[in-house]
Structure 1
């Protein structure tokens, strides 16, 4: 069943909207279980849980583990959390694909609530969902001015239609687990992604933006088509994020290069 990802900065009304949606979904189809996952349900204080990078990492891990446990073909899961980076949302999208379920994102924003300094830091790091990204679609945008404290004004019917009748995201090569026999997978993942990043940076030094760059023998079907150059730090950050995602949901060794190139193309 579907995974609904609510995202936005703190005090944006996410919990109000998520609660209203969960109640509406349960009324519409009482036979389908609806689970709301939030910092509260995983016993994380929402102020301390994002106070520093270490606490934030633990918070994300707890939320992700709860989602992985809850998502299946019978349960509707509503994740009520910040989910403010596209890397987080991409991982959740991959989880939905692995379960062959539907998926949607709801974005909400407001600028008041927690400690002003912490709120400012979180707001500065917020990566606004973009509907053209597969992992941010379908997308519903809300602000606190759009709905009341009881949830009135939230487009419940439209979201419910997307949840119940939206296109199921099918598991592809990047989200299907690789056979356990591929013992060299992690080594290949490290070597192939490193070679592609090195080739990209070398190309940028010599010829500028990589538009149409192939990296044989690591890429077969895809080529790098970026719209802007990537700094060394950004390219390596994207590599680390891709490795993290792919270690969770392995692909075939032969597909590592093409899928990494596809991932980079989506980032720039």
Structure 2
């Protein structure tokens, strides 16, 4: 979405899987490479309040909600990928209210919408006024591989290796080596363990991740064997 957005008037809100700090770092790097403004908005809600929201909406089963809470990694203003950090606590909005208003249920929708809308305006205005922008550096200004022949060859090799891995699994093998068609005489092939098994989804995800990685970080050695071995090593460290 970031990569396909055009102009400076587009506002992209990534409100999924951003509870993991590694994903927030990836978003920061993407914004940096695209020379876009970036910030983190932390809606700091106590776990008990979150449980109350979930009980009312029944969006997640209790166990799933508990697991999501356990996996949550709160943003840290000391981390550059969590800057600038805007933190909002619903309870804070009651501090200056009269006693009868402060006694309202924190889950009151109208109050939530009003407070969040005010915060959203503050965030956007701050970003526009300060023009806080992550500048690209060598680590994010990647040398994208543009050769059509190279990209076509890369795609064919990755598909060949992926199909070979899935076929080896179907035959009941516990490990496999590179396809013989890619090996030179006397060449030693790395070995890939097939336990646990790759699924069609996991092998497809690994293929896409590897292709993106190589396209923005093209290797010096681009022979078919070198690329196949590189993908093989990538699979060794990919979740199955």
| Structure with higher strand content | 1
> Given the two structures, how large is their TM-score scaled by the length of structure 2?
0.42
Q: Which has the larger radius of gyration?
A: 2
> Given the two structures, how large is their TM-score scaled by the length of structure 1?
0.38
